[in-house]
């Protein structure tokens, strides 16, 4: 009986958990897969411009770096190190997105790179995709310089000075940042777990400069995603018109004294004109007295 009661108590909780999991996975599939595919069908291959540029850029710089002269120019254009001056690192950071990392296979990372930029461009747009990719890469580069500057220690936050000589290139920080930003904005916990969990495992398994930068990229993408939602809410609130307080009524001005009315002009009635009486159709007999019969008798003589 006790086991049956426990099962009866666990069944509603398990049913609620299953419904919640189903709704979450269905919403994530809609947000991460179905909506981008619809955008791709509507926009065509032009919606994948950034993905093609990023993939071909990595392939191009990888092929150039196979020759000694090309490798020298690739390092001069996109090689970022922590021991370089800050202005030079900032100048090379945009190109470093397309320079392959030394310890990562190029062809294995191109698929992730293409998928990250494709989903981000179809979901967020080109300008926001570029902004998030550059911001997360720049955050990793700058915070890594700070960690090297403070030195080892500081409860594991600092890095030794030898890390300043390591070549810090590759689009991996941008890829991680884009996936994390998408998972936060589109509310995709599975993608977030795969992205953030893999970066945490990488930093624990291989505690190097790239692992630290990936963790920094994940953190900066989370902050940017949360700020994005708050900015949209603030924009909606500012667009809503607020009722303005009613202004106090102004005191009425005293009425001016009325001017005396002008005397009305006397009304002159028209005098009706005298209308002669119609003649009788039967002429009256002439009276005695010798008047002519043609003379008409007036009304007074009647």
The model's pLDDT over 133-155, given as tens digits with 9 standing for 90+, comes to: 999 999 988 988 888 888 777 67
Q: What is the mean pLDDT of residues 84-113?
A: 82
- The mean-pLDDT minimum among 4-13, 107-116, 132-141, 263-272 falls in 263-272
Q: Report the greatest alpha carbon distance in the chain.
A: 164
- Complete DSSP assignment for 112-152: HHHHHHHHHHHHH-HHHHHHHHHHHHHHHHHHHHHHHHH-S
Please state, for a pLDDT cut of 70, what percent of the chain lies above it: 70
Map tokens 């600092």 to a residue: 158
Contact 47, 40 (CB under 8 A): yes
Q: Could you identify the residue written with the tokens 């958990």?
A: 17
CA distance 154 to 79: 28
Q: What is the mean pLDDT of residues 173-191?
A: 90
Distance CA 46, CA 114 (A): 14
- Per-residue pLDDT at 113 exceeds 70: yes
CA distance 297 to 285: 10
pLDDT of residue 234: 63
3-class DSSP state for residue 89? Answer: helix
Q: How far apart are CA 257 and CA 84, in angstroms?
A: 89
* Fold held by 44-239: Rhomboid-like fold (1.20.1540)
CA distances from 34 to 1, 28, 134, 177, 240 (A): 47, 9, 26, 21, 32
With 70 as the cut, is the pLDDT of residue 267 above it?
no
Q: What value does the mean pLDDT of the chain take?
A: 76
Total count of residues recorded for the chain: 302
- In the structure encoding, which two tokens stand for residue 2, read together? 């006790």
Please say whether the dihedral angle defined by the alpha carbons of residues 234, 238, 239 and 242, taken in this order, is positive or negative: positive
- Where do we find the tokens 């624990």? 204
Confidence of residue 251 (pLDDT cuts 50, 70, 90): low
- The CA R_g of the chain, rounded to the nearest whole Å, is 48
Average pLDDT over residues 155-179: 83
Per-residue HEC secondary structure of 28-65 comes to HHHHHHHHHHHHHHHHHHHHHHHHHHHHHHHHHHHHHC
User: In the predicted model, what is the mean pLDDT of residues 169-183?
Assistant: 90
Report residue 245's pLDDT band, with 50, 70 and 90 as the boundaries.
low
């Amino acid at each position: 009986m006790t086991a049956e009661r426990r099962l009866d108590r666990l069944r509603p909780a398990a049913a609620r958990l299953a419904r919640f999991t189903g709704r979450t996975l269905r919403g994530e599939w809609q947000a991460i897969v179905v909506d981008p595919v619809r955008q791709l069908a509507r926009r065509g291959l032009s919606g994948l411009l950034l993905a093609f540029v990023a993939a071909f850029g990595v392939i191009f710089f990888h092929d150039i770096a196979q020759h000694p002269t090309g490798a020298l120019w690739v390092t001069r254009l996109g090689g970022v190190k922590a021991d370089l001056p800050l202005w030079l690192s900032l100048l090379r950071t945009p190109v470093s997105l397309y320079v392959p990392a030394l310890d990562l296979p190029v062809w294995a990372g191109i698929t992730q790179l293409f998928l990250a930029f494709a989903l981000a461009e179809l979901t967020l747009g080109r300008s926001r995709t570029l902004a998030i990719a550059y911001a997360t890469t720049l955050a990793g580069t700058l915070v890594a310089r700070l960690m090297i500057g403070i030195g080892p220690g500081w409860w594991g936050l600092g890095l030794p000075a030898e890390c300043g000589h390591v070549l810090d290139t590759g689009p991996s920080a941008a890829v991680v940042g884009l996936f994390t930003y998408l998972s936060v904005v589109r509310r995709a916990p599975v993608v977030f777990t795969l992205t953030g969990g893999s970066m945490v495992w990488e930093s624990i398994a291989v505690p190097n400069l790239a692992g630290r930068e990936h963790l920094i990229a994940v953190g900066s993408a989370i902050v940017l995603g949360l700020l994005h939602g708050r900015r949209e809410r603030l924009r909606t609130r500012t667009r809503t018109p607020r009722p303005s307080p009613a202004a106090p009524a102004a005191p009425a001005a005293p009425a001016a004294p009325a001017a005396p009315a002008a005397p009305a002009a006397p009304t002159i009635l028209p005098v009706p004109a005298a209308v002669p009486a119609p003649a009788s159709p039967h002429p009256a007999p002439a009276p005695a007295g010798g008047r002519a019969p043609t003379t008409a008798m007036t009304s007074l003589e009647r």
